[in-house]
Amino acid sequence: MGAWAIAVHGGAGVDPNLPKERQEEAKRLLTRCLDIGISALRSNLPAIDVVELVVRELETDPLFNSGRGSALTENGTVEMEASIMDGPKRRCGAVSGLTTVKNPVSLARLVMEKSPHSYLAFSGAEEFAKKQGVEMVDNEYFITEDNVGMLKLAKEANSILFDYRIPAVGTCGAGAAMDSPLQMNGLPISVYAPETVGCVVVDKQGRCAAATSTGGLMNKMSGRIGDSPLIGSGTYASELCGVSCTGEGEAIIRSTLAREVSAVMEYKRLNLHEAVDYVIKNRLDEGKAGLIAVSKDGEVACGFNTTGMFRGCATEDGFMEVGVW
């Protein structure tokens, strides 16, 4: 029997001017989610059940960018995506383009367990959801007043609003804001929007699991798919570790960031903290992102090269931490 560990995130990249009240609200939500996960782990739920449970909670609360509170497309609608992966047999499920599924992460799990496929999207995913009897709601349920206002700002600026600001490199630590312009695939973008969510868990049996969920970018093109539902990019779990990423989706996709953590642990024989530090510093090129990770040995780590990352983690020995910067 090993030791359990859990980490959650609410997105990499935090506006340095974010009001203290919003910071504290985020910390309270992350703490609540950690408490839910800890209780489940103490009840001996397997890691895959715990990551789904925690991400469902994050999707239901409108504070972060997943489920209710998701970022809006250029058309003012919500298109959500999520993925989940179970490390022991590398089983996985992913969904994109959801508009009426209340909890995308649970549909991703159903794709993993109740379909012959690993990834369903748009109308096919919605039809599968109906057949599985998952809870469906009107698209308006996911739209918040804050995000309507943010979309208006994005349209006025003729830009995409992103979920981080330019940083100095940090690993579980603070960075300093910089004023240089951000680009995505060579095109300038503006800088602040709601944040992606994710959870990684290792249970007492050493089984790792990971799940990630998001509404994507504010003012994104309809049909855009980011890293969150892509296994190996935004989410990955193996017999060695579980990883969930957040930040510039295009950069995370190019670097297959989540899989890279597992790969350098396997091939370079790095421990979890070394692996996370290595991929953040060497695999993102000019991209900006962060990640959370756990190992089969009960380690937990996070890394980011943005100004901050909403995150929390806990281990069986009583350690618990929630941070922003």
pLDDT in tens, 255-279: 999 999 999 999 999 999 999 999 9
Residue 123 host element (H or E)? helix 122-132
Burial 184-194 (b: 16+ CB within 10 A, else e): beeeebbbbbb
Residue 310 has pLDDT above 80, yes or no: yes
pTM equals 0.89
More confident residue, 192 or 256: 256
C-beta atoms surrounding 18 within 10 Å:
16
Q: What are 135's two structure tokens?
A: 């809870």
At 49, which amino acid appears? D
- What would the pLDDT profile of 114-166 be if each residue is shown by its tens digit? 999 999 999 999 999 999 999 999 999 999 988 888 888 878 776 665 543 22
Strand partners, 303: 291
Confidence at 169, pLDDT banded by 50, 70, 90:
very low
- CA 42 to chain centroid: 24
Q: Identify each DSSP E strand in 111-265 by its residue range.
A: 119-121, 182-184, 187-189, 197-202, 208-214, 235-237, 241-247
Query: Does the structural domain 3-138+190-317 have CATH classification 3.60.20.30?
Result: yes
- What would the pLDDT profile of 57-106 be if each residue is shown by its tens digit? 999 999 899 999 999 999 999 999 999 999 999 999 999 999 999 999 99
Distance from C-alpha of 89 to C-alpha of 53, rounded to nearest angstrom: 20
Distance from C-alpha of 261 to C-alpha of 22, rounded to nearest angstrom: 31
Return the active site residues: 196
